[in-house]
Amino acid sequence: KQEVTQIPAALSVPEGENLVLNCSFTDSAIYNLQWFRQDPGKGLTSLLLIQSSQREQTSGRLNASLDKSSGRSTLYIAASQPGDSATYLCAAYSNSGYALNFGKGTSLLVTP
């Protein structure tokens, strides 16, 4: 089974800083990888989906990279804002294709 690990578990940064969230996965035969944001008590908002053939995807201030050979993905957030405070979840599709295997998330706090 695909195991997904996210480091750090929690992160606090001052507003304006650029930051990187890390995600690692055990099975390099990954299909796709998806990053989500979850606000407390809410559902998941899809941020970026990286296809296995891609190395990165960008959306606004967010950039996600994928390195299958090392089993790693990173989510880069530029010029962080207090509104970015949330839990960020990384989820990898195994090659079976149907199951999203989630990491435990990184809880981000951006302070004014």
Partner 1 sequence: DTEVTQTPKHLVMGMTNKKSLKCEQHMGHRAMYWYKQKAKKPPELMFVYSYEKLSINESVPSRFSPECPNSSLLNLHLHALQPEDSALYLCASSHVIGGNEQYFGPGTRLTVT
**Chain positions contacting partner 1, by CB under 8 A:** 31-32, 34, 36, 41-46, 49, 52, 89, 91, 93, 97-100, 102-105
CB of 14 to partner 1, least distance (A): 25
Q: Which DSSP state fits 84?
A: G
Prior bond of 8 cis (ω within 30°) = yes
Closest CB to partner 1 among 45 and 111? 45
Closest CB to partner 1 among 60 and 112? 60
Prior bond of 40 cis (ω within 30°) = no
CB of 91 to partner 1, least distance (A): 8
Closest CB to partner 1 among 13 and 100? 100
Radius of gyration over alpha carbons of the chain, in Å?
A: 13
| Residues in the chain, overall count | 112
Closest CB to partner 1 among 30 and 77? 30
- Tell me how far CA of residue 30 lies from CA of 24, 46, 77, in angstroms: 11, 18, 23
CB of 93 to partner 1, least distance (A): 4
